[in-house]
A and B are shown apart, each in its own frame.
Chain A
Amino acid sequence: MADGESARIRFLRIEGLPILAVLLALVVAFMIAAPEVFLAYRIYMSFLATVPPLLVMAVGLTLVIASGEIDLSFPSVIALSGWALAYCTHQLGSPLLGLVFALGAGALVGYVNGILVARVGIPSIIATLATQFLWGGLTTVFSQGLSYSLGEADQLFLWHLLVGRIGPFPVQSLWALAVAVVLWFVLNRRRFGEHLLFIGDNVKVAEVVGVNVAREKIRMFALMGVMSAFAAVLLTFENRNFFNTQGSGYLLEVMAAVFIGGTSVFGGRASVVGTVAGSFIIVRVEAGLVATGLQGFWVRAVVGIVFLAAVVGHLIIEEPERGRVLIRTVSGRFAFHRKTPPR
């Protein structure tokens, strides 16, 4: 019994292994369900082109959630930074300046979030909800509601560097991989990451062991802002188009990717590897549902269910106490219906 227990724990401890297995199972399932689509390499190249912006945001958000906070403002950074890039490229003819402005805008948004949460003391769910509207609204004002077409972006060196193709292979997937690797090290091998984990675990403990909680949170939100901005650059260049609602679909997807990956909704435990797998799972589920002929309307609802199922599943595994309470509540309810009448 004890041996089985420790083997189970050891298995769970290999980062992201269970969720990678789920991803593999999904791939196989879709290959069986729609072989003409999922046995050709084309669909996978398409994934590697569309997953990176989602993945970059999700990996950034993993650190935020690790610290027990949340950021709802990143969809607006997708708009704001996308606009900065598009405006500089399209109107000023300087994509490099656009890149600098885009990343700078992201850092600013994140820094303001950090100040609001860590210094002013507003709960992050409220602070970043407000800044989501603020920056999203300002982007609409700046862009006058217009879209920009960047049809000739593929003439640019920067475009090829960020979202070009090596043969059929999309370069942005390498950037996303690099971001994931760097942030894995930041979370797991830097003081900063360890501090975030302790803040998310128990902020009082973090204070007692000498963590500067406010400073670390501000740095963390700023990092999330920069990640969202980088995602905006990849997205805007890949689409060769900017429109001011381009971030709006991402809120659910990015959150779902993080939680499917096994990062704890309570903070203090996070898996970058899991988030990477979660990002692919989300995009694969969406594409797979469409390819297998399920109606497009259903996709969001199904993603919502997968999201919820993942959160509950991880909760039962990682917080056995809460899991037991949940099971007791559910079974208690049924027991109530069964048992009361005979009395």
Chain B
Amino acid sequence: MTEAAKIGHVGQEWRHIVRLEKVDMTFGKVQALSEVDFEVGRNEIVGLVGDNGAGKSTLIKIVSGVLRPTAGSVWVRDHVVDLDEYSVRMAHELRIETVYQGQTLGEKQPLWRNLFVGRQIVGRFGFIDVKKEKEIAGRLLRQAIGLRGEGITADSTVRDLSGGERQGIAIARAMYFDADLIVLDEPTAALAVSEVRKVLTFVEGVKAAGRACIYIEHNLAHVHEVADRLVILDRGKVAGEFAKGEISLNELTEQLIKLHEGHTRG
């Protein structure tokens, strides 16, 4: 049995979809993460905040199998994973999906192809079942993404969509393929204000669907609004952790400014 199959089968009993224990990550002389403990519970939305270079991206790349930590351990569904085997592919098998900003959709392709590429529905002779893919895509567009009317169908190409709608498609794809953890890397970057609202609705949809989410965000107001728990990273270390309601938006902002000033002085 493969590592992924073992962990995937543990099924119902786990508490944390992902847990990092004393994780170190160094690039040459740069210590990107040091002794980071981080976990994401079932159906929990964890907001990850911190300055540029705080280690947010490094952390999610470890979670999604892109980077291998230099020390520490990674647990998925309460089972430790073999870091020599852990990869993007295995993360997918473990139903951990990452939506990287700006590079998850083929712009010239119709939405139905974008939803199923890499995991096409094929018939007995290996032909793509276009009818079925379009049917499901249409349903997802209406129900999960809430695109009604507006002339957008499964046949529309990605470039017909607004930035927020594109994020919606990427998130809906992850959910459709049963991701238990969806990692969102700055999904509202470069979006218009009205589009940001849509994305926040999608993140709430992730919560409502019983999935967990790691949400990286520069805009503190957005992340403060949707996260169940906030984790502040600063220079590779966890500098604070707050459950929803434990910290106001103003306090959070002040804390981050204080950390930032600490850098400029030190």
**Interface residues, chain A, with chain B CB atoms under 8 Å away:** 2, 5-6, 13, 185, 189-191, 194-195, 197-198, 201-202, 204-206, 208-211, 264, 268-269
Contact = CB atoms under 8 A, between A and B. Distances in A.
Nearest to B150: A2
Given A5-B151, A185-B127, A205-B104, 5 more contacts: A6-B151, A195-B117, A205-B103, A210-B118, A211-B118
A195 B127 CA distance: 13
Given A2-B151, A13-B155, A210-B118, A191 B126 contact: yes
14 contacts: A190-B126, A190-B128, A197-B108, A205-B105, A205-B106, A208-B103, A208-B104, A209-B104, A210-B118, A210-B119, A268-B106, A268-B107, A268-B109, A269-B108
B61 interface: no
A210 B155 contact: no
Contacts of A5: 151
Contacts of B113: 194, 197-198
Interface in B112-141: 113, 117-120, 122, 126-128, 130
Contacts of B119: 210
A202 B107 CA distance: 8
A23 to B, nearest CB: 24
B79 interface: no
Contacts of A206: 106
For the complex of A and B, list the 5 residue pairs with the smallest distance between their C-beta atoms, beginning with the closest: A209-B118, A201-B106, A210-B118, A268-B108, A204-B103
A198 B117 contact: yes
A210 B89 contact: yes
B100 interface: yes
A202 B122 contact: no
Given A13-B155, A191-B120, A198-B117, A264 B128 contact: no
B117 A209 contact: yes
Most buried by B among A6, A208, A210, A264: A208
Contact of A264 (B100, B108, B130, B155): B108
A341 B120 CA distance: 62
B119 to A, nearest CB: 8
A189 to B, nearest CB: 5
A201 B107 contact: yes
B155 A208 contact: no
B218 interface: no
A13 B154 CA distance: 13
B128 to A, nearest CB: 5
Contacts of B92: 210
A131 B255 CA distance: 62
Interface residues of B, number: 22
Q: Is the interface of B mostly helix, strand, loop or mixed?
A: loop
A194 B100 contact: no
Contacts of B106: 197-198, 201-202, 205-206, 268
Contacts of A205: 103-106
Contacts of B122: 191
Interface in B145-163: 151, 155
Contacts of A189: 127-128, 130
Interface in B88-109: 89, 92, 100, 103-109
A111 to B, nearest CB: 22
Nearest to A5: B151
Nearest to A185: B127
B61 to A, nearest CB: 13
A104 B124 CA distance: 29
A264 B126 CA distance: 27
Contacts of A6: 151
A268 B113 CA distance: 12
Contacts of B107: 201-202, 268
Most buried by B among A190, A195, A201: A201
Most buried by A among B118, B126, B128, B130: B118
A201 B126 contact: no
A194 B118 CA distance: 9
Contacts of A197: 106, 108-109, 113
Contact of B127 (A190, A198, A201, A208): A190
Nearest to B103: A204
A6 B151 CA distance: 7
Contacts of B120: 191, 194
Nearest to B106: A201
Contacts of B109: 197-198, 201, 268
A209 B128 CA distance: 17
Contacts of A269: 108
Contacts of B118: 209-211
B103 A201 contact: no
Nearest to A321: B159
Contacts of B103: 202, 204-205, 208
A241 to B, nearest CB: 40
Contacts of B89: 210
Contacts of A13: 155
A83 to B, nearest CB: 35
Given A198-B106, A268-B106, A208 B128 contact: no
Contacts of A194: 113, 117, 120, 128
A189 B127 CA distance: 5
B95 to A, nearest CB: 14
A204 B130 CA distance: 24
A201 B110 CA distance: 12
A268 B108 CA distance: 6
B122 to A, nearest CB: 7
A45 to B, nearest CB: 34
